Amino acid sequence: MFSAEIRKHRADGRVYSNWQFHLYELFVRVNTATYYYWWAVDHEGEVLEAFVTKRRDRKAALNFLNRGMKRSGEPKRIVTDQLR
């Protein structure tokens, strides 16, 4: 119940003064196939969204960002791990 209440408050549009997303990407190899694991963490350290895809392109990245912002709202700043 506690996490559901926090998520409900965020969906209502509460914006924190230092609201930011940290986006990370990890390459995972399973049976010689490469997968990409993407996840977003907020400024408090809570994992907001996790996403696994076979492709690493613009469409996959935008899909991941849109899913994260739909659930958690739009951040003031996005920090990445500086991968292309």
Structural domain containing residue 45: 2-80
Neighbours of 68 (CB within 10 A): 23
Quickly tell me which residue has 């991941």 as its tokens: 64
Q: Number of folded domains in the chain?
A: 1
Give the pLDDT confidence of 16-68 residue by residue, as tens digits. 445 788 888 888 998 989 999 888 888 778 888 888 888 888 888 888 888 87
> What confidence score (pLDDT) does residue 84 get?
61
Position 56 scores a pLDDT of: 84
Q: What's phi and psi for 30, nearest 5 deg?
A: -130, 115
